[in-house]
Each structure stands twice: as C-alpha cells, then as structure tokens.
Amino acid sequence: MKQLIINPGSTSTKIAVFEDEKSIFEKTLRHSNEELGVYAKVADQFEFRKNLILEALKENNIAAESLNAVVGRGGLLKPIEGGTYLVNDELVEDLKASKMGEHASNLGGLIARSIAEEVNIPAFIVDPVVVDEIEDVARISGHPNFERISIWHALNQKAVARRAASEKFNKKYEDMNFVVAHLGGGISVGAHRKGKAIDVNNALNGEGPFSPERSGTLPAEQLVKTCFSGQYTEQEIKKMIVGKGGLSALLGTNNAKEVSDRAASGDEKAELIYKAMAYQIAKAIGEYAVVLDGDVDAILITGGIAYDKEFVKIIENKVKFIAEVIAYPGEDELLALAEGGLRVLNKEEEAKQYK
C-alpha cells in the first residue's frame, strides 16, 4: 500500500511517500517569512502549500494515481477519541473555520482531502493533539469555572505505545498499561490503559512539568498577582506560559542540548535547572502511575530530549521502582501517520467518522 503523508508546520511542510511501513521518498518544503507573510490567515496558505507538494511529487516521478491514500497531520478539532479518521465534510468544515484555533496542522487534512479527491482515494488524519480519552474523574479541577483539558502529543505517544507493545511485549496496545512521557519543546505525560489515554497533562496551556519553552504548572496565587500587577499585557503573560517559559525563561535558551552541555562543563545554575526539569518529569510519571493503580507494564520516554541519555538516566533512577523504563528517542511523525493510515488500509481497524 502506497500513501502520501503530509505534515505541515509553521514554516515548513514535511512530506513523504510510504510503501507499507517503508519510506521511499521524503522531503521538507521550507517556507520563508516573506512567502507566508502575504497570507492573512493560515488557511489562506492552502493553495500555496498544496502546489508545492504536487510539484515535489512530479519532480520525483510520483503519480497521485499510484497512491492508495493520503494522510495529513490532524489539526485543532473538537475533542475526539484516538484513532484514524476519514477526512469527511464535517471535519473539513471545522478545519476551515478554525473554531478550535488556528494552526498550520489544520492544513494537513484539508490538503490531504483535496489531493485524494482528484484520484478518488481516501484521505485520513491520525491522532491529532485534541484526542480526548480522559476519564470524567480526571476532568474535575478545584473550581466549577475550570475544567482540565486534553491537549497533548497524542500522535507520538500512541505510536510509541503501539511500538513498545508489539516489539517488546508481543502484544497489542489495547492489552497494555503504559506511562508515556513525550519530551520536546512541550512535555506531556500520559497514563495509557488498554489503548486509551485516560489522563494526561495539558501540554500546551500550562500544566505539568516545565519544558524548553513552557512554564508548566505555576504557583497559582503568584500567577494571579503577576496578571494584575499592571506590568504585563495578557499576551505577554500567555507568552510567559507558552513560548518564553521553561528553559527559555530560566536560562535564556530553549535548546535542551545546550543546557546539558553547560551543566556538564560546570555551570551550576544550568545543572540545577537541568535536574529540576528531570525531577518534575519523574514526579509526573509517578503521578500518572497512580492513575493506573500502579499497574504499569512499562514507562516509555520519547521526544527529542530522549536522545540525551544522561537526562533519561536521571528520570529512570527515580521511577524504575515503578516499572521498566524504555527510551524511544525522537518523534517520527511521518511514520506514525503512515502506520495509522496503513492499519485502515489493511483492515486491521476501521476508519472513524468525525461528527
């Protein structure tokens, strides 16, 4: 089965063609600020990005007629359960309207559907960030005006969990219990029970461990005082939480490798912050192990920071009493998207309908 995979980012569009689970073509189409600056909204970039994809396929002698499906990165949609979704009219309408927020990933499903329709094949999205499988008890906060929200690295967490279940345990994801920690620009830690992420921190909007760019959970009263101090605008506060928080605020860099190198070379402050981030991640893993009643088959560490073996070791030393720790460095989103589409094409699961 041959699939075109489309993963739009803020300044690039990554594409690939997979033959079953093997990549036979990959390319990153980069977009300058000047090119994107002429578009008022992300949705307006649709034709520009689609045409670049079609040109890249043509240059590499890949005919759309040779494809069995097109899979796009899932965007900001209504909360849905995990899985592979057919890009239907309702899904397209919500992506175009950007009701849940404007992001480059919204273009994934739109472009996939457009290309697929021209050659009469299906278009899919897989495990978008809005996947919501958390149990009702996990939604409750300490005040009725606030409810915990599920926004996380669903695509990579679920792909890694499926991989570990198959490769390490010769079982299905739906038969396993994992705590999965995705360590990237944002950090999400999820409790996966029998194929569902029943609790996970909101990795985008300020919950859980701090990360290279996000502040994570902050002391509430101090945050309130800061909001009403008159020193910051609402936008500046939001940037403090997402974008310019975490390592960026504490050490002036969002590069975790740089922090690791500084710590190793004797920078005591960098070492303390480096250990504090690992400490908070380990605490969160313990928290989500409790969600699973301690019944944890393995703890999976993934994302770009997982390449740092010393950092993973700090976490492992604190949580190995819970379960075996297995590292899956990086996040192979293109493969994860291809695997999601392939499960449907191979009739291992049925494509879900977005409503």
Predicted local confidence at residue 65, as pLDDT: 96
Q: Is the pLDDT of residue 100 over 90?
A: no
What backbone torsions phi and psi does residue 310 show, to the nearest 5 degrees? -65, -40
Above pLDDT 70, what percent of the chain? 100
Q: What is the pLDDT of residue 38?
A: 94
Q: Compute the average pLDDT of residues 242-256.
A: 95
Q: Is residue 98 pLDDT above 80, yes or no?
A: no
> For 161-183, what is the mean pLDDT?
98
**What pLDDT shows up at residue 229?**
97
Question: What pLDDT is attached to residue 205?
Answer: 86
**For position 266, what pLDDT does the model report?**
97
Q: Which pLDDT band holds residue 146 (cuts at 50, 70, 90)?
A: very high
Residue 101, pLDDT > 80, answer no
* 195-202 average pLDDT score: 97
Give 329's pLDDT tier (boundaries 50, 70, 90): very high
Give the confidence band of 295 by pLDDT, cuts at 50, 70, 90: very high
pLDDT tops 80 at residue 330: yes
99: pLDDT strictly greater than 80: no
Q: What is the mean pLDDT of residues 121-137?
A: 96
Q: What is the mean pLDDT of the chain?
A: 96
Q: Sorting pLDDT into bands at 50, 70 and 90, what band is 61? A: very high
Tell me, what's the pLDDT at 11?
87
Q: pTM to 2 decimals?
A: 0.93
What's the pLDDT at 289?
98
**How crowded is residue 131: how many other Cβ atoms within 10 Å of its Cβ?**
27
For residues 149-161, average pLDDT: 95
Amino acid 215: pLDDT: 97
pLDDT over 80 at 244, yes or no: yes
Locate 127 and state its tokens: 């495990």
Across 283-302, average pLDDT: 98
DSSP E strand stretches across the chain: 2-8, 12-19, 22-30, 69-73, 84-86, 123-126, 177-183, 187-193, 196-200, 298-303, 325-329, 352-353
Q: CA 221 from chain center: how many Å?
A: 30
Q: Rounded CA gap, 88 and 355, in Å?
A: 9
- Look at residue 193 in the predicted model and tell me its pLDDT: 98
The answer to whether residues 96 and 150 touch, using CB atoms and an 8 Å cutoff, is no
Give pLDDT, residue 73.
94
pLDDT of residue 97: 86
Q: What is the mean pLDDT of residues 174-199?
A: 97
pLDDT tier at 204 (50, 70, 90 boundaries)? Answer: confident
Taking 90 as the threshold, does the pLDDT of residue 103 lie above it?
no
Measure Cα distances from 268 to 6, 53, 317 in Å.
43, 47, 21
DSSP for 142-153 reads SSTT-B----S-
Q: Are 285 and 299 in contact (CB under 8 A)?
A: yes
Q: Give the pLDDT confidence of 17-41 residue by residue, as tens digits.
A: 999 999 999 999 999 989 999 998 8
pLDDT digits 0-9 by tens, 225-238: 999 999 999 999 99
In this prediction, residue 331 carries a pLDDT of: 86
pLDDT of residue 239: 94
